[in-house]
Structure 1
Amino acid sequence: MNKLWALCMFLLLLTTACSDSDSVRPRIPEVYVDEQINVNSQLYPGLRQDNGYAYVAGGYKGILVVRQNAGQYLAFERACPHDPTSTCSGVEVDASNLFIVDACCGSQFNLQGNVTGGPSVYGLLQYRTALSGSLLYISN
């Protein structure tokens, strides 16, 4: 009986802890994402070099694709996690091409989507990517 009670208390605490953290984090509205782009297309010249990037339609406020290397691309939601429903435009790569910034709130992120400064305490929402030949598939 004591083991059952202890297990129930543990599960109750675990459930409570998870729900508290979810309620604090701003929620980016969920949208269906199923995009594909040709990374060799003339439309995306930035994707031909490491740390290059491109803006793609899709997601909630758009998608930012960043090339890590010839075989790995990351795709991020452009809505800033600090205030995702703000009417300001989404995050953009800074003119230095060294980091990502939200001009509205000042949050900064590295090219892997991790927060590096500003009011946001959460990294960028990342979408799944899969590369097949020159086609990059982006989904959630």
Structure 2
Amino acid sequence: MHQRKLGDKSYPMGVWGILIIVCFLWTIFGASCDSNQSATKKIPMGIVSINIDLNLPSYMHLVNPGSYSYFEGGIKGVLVIHDYDDNWYAFERGCAFEPTKACSKIWADSISIQLRCGSQGPREFLPCCQSKYTFGGYPTEGEARGRLGQYTIQRSGNALSVYN
């Protein structure tokens, strides 16, 4: 009885053709299916250059992990976060789901320790969509599939620089 080997010419050409097509499609679509990157690239980002002196009374709270502050700049504003893991983040405040929608603005919720999309009403938070994010900018629930738009942030002593 004759056993077929992969290199054997008697192996059906149809299987090789299918294998080549599958590998080709895997390469094409597998390399381009990073939904986080594609969703993040759609977030409009403005020119940002913010310097923060952590010695000033209005910014001293940022020294504590779990703190945050809002700044003018970018498209919808900039949110600076000192996360509980002692990392610093600076995000564009447009939601990753529909960043250009009028109500799409990111707000920090220190009680639930998450970021939410919507607006602060006179008595309660008014969601724009159901998207919620970690303080690191990753979506945890809702429609958003990508990370929030992130600006570069550097700390040197008691000075923070946020830029792009």
| 1:105 aligned counterpart, secondary structure | strand
How many Å separate the matches in 1 of 2:39 and 2:100? 13
Deviations 1:33-89 (A, max 9, x none): 111111232223431311111111111111111113696421111100100001115
Change in 2 beyond 3 A, CA 1:21/1:67: closer
Query: Paired residues, what number?
Result: 131
Q: Give 1 or 2 for the bigger CA radius of gyration.
A: 2
Change in 2 beyond 3 A, CA 1:110/1:21: closer
Aligned to 1:42: 57
Quick one: which of 124, 127, 133 aligns to 2:151?
127
Change in 2 beyond 3 A, CA 1:125/1:20: closer
Task: State the TM-score, normalizing by the size of structure 1.
Answer: 0.77
In structure 2, the gaps of 5 or more residues are: 1-23, 118-126
Quick one: which of 74, 79, 88 aligns to 1:59?
74
Aligned to 1:137: 161
Moved beyond 6 Å, runs of 4+: 19-22
Change in 2 beyond 3 A, CA 1:110/1:20: closer
How many Å separate the matches in 2 of 1:91 and 1:70? 21
Aligned to 1:7: none
Change in 2 beyond 3 A, CA 1:95/1:83: same
Aligned to 2:39: 25
The answer as to 2:90 corresponding to 1:75 is: yes
| 1:47 aligned counterpart, secondary structure | helix
1:80 counterpart letter in structure 2: C
Change in 2 beyond 3 A, CA 1:116/1:19: closer
| 1:46 aligned counterpart, secondary structure | helix
Task: State the TM-score, normalizing by the size of structure 2.
Answer: 0.66
Report how far residue 21 of structure 1 moved: 6.3
2:151 counterpart letter in structure 1: Y
In structure 1, the gaps of 5 or more residues are: 1-9
Aligned to 2:8: none
The answer as to 2:111 corresponding to 1:92 is: no
